[in-house]
Amino acid sequence: MSTLTKVFTVLNAVMSIALSCLFIAAAAQWANWKDLAGKYQSERDAATAQYQSAVASGLAASALKDEALASKGNELGQAQSQIQDLTEKLAKNTSELTQVKNQGISAEAGRAKLQETVDTLTGEVKSVRAQNGELLKQNIDLQSRNARLNNRTLELTTNVTILQEENRNIQEKLYACQTGRGGVSSPARAAVDSVPGTVALPAPRVAGTIKGEITNVDGTYASVNIGESSGVTSGMTFLVYRGSQYLGDLVVERVRPGEAVGKLAMMGADGVRSGDSVRSGINN
- Count CB neighbours of 237 within 10 A: 18
Q: Is residue 99 located within the same domain as residue 24?
A: yes
Question: Please, which contacts does 188-197 make with residues 24 or more away whose CB atoms are closer than 8 Å?
Answer: 188/228, 188/255, 188/256, 188/257, 189/228
Q: Is residue 114 located within the same domain as residue 243?
A: no
In a domain, 171, yes or no: no
Q: Is residue 20 located within the same domain as residue 138?
A: yes
Q: Is residue 44 located within the same domain as residue 109?
A: yes
In a domain, 172, yes or no: no
The pLDDT value recorded for residue 181 is 44
The pLDDT value recorded for residue 104 is 86
Written as one string, the DSSP assignment of 48-80 is HHHHHHHHHHHHHHHHHHHHHHHHHHHHHHHHH
Cα four-point dihedral sign 148, 154, 157, 161: negative
The pLDDT value recorded for residue 172 is 67
- Sites in the chain below the pLDDT cut of 70: 1, 150, 154, 157-158, 161, 164-165, 168-169, 172, 175-176, 178-208, 269, 281-284
pTM attached to this predicted model: 0.31
In a domain, 84, yes or no: yes
In a domain, 166, yes or no: no
User: For residue range 209-227, what is the model confidence (pLDDT) as tens digits?
Assistant: 899 999 999 989 999 999 9
Q: Is residue 89 located within the same domain as residue 31?
A: yes
CA distance 97 to 93: 6
The pLDDT value recorded for residue 162 is 74
Written as one string, the DSSP assignment of 149-167 is HHHHHHHHHHHHHHHHHHH
Domain count of the fold of the chain = 2
In a domain, 162, yes or no: no
Q: Is residue 215 located within the same domain as residue 121?
A: no
Domain with 53, as residue range(s), is 1-152
In a domain, 173, yes or no: no
Q: Is residue 117 located within the same domain as residue 237?
A: no
User: For residue range 95-130, what is the model confidence (pLDDT) as tens digits?
Assistant: 899 999 899 898 888 888 889 889 889 888 888 888
The pLDDT value recorded for residue 200 is 39
Report CA 246 to chain centroid distance, whole Å: 37
Q: Is residue 192 located within the same domain as residue 134?
A: no
In a domain, 178, yes or no: no
The CATH number covering residue 272 comes to: 2.40.10
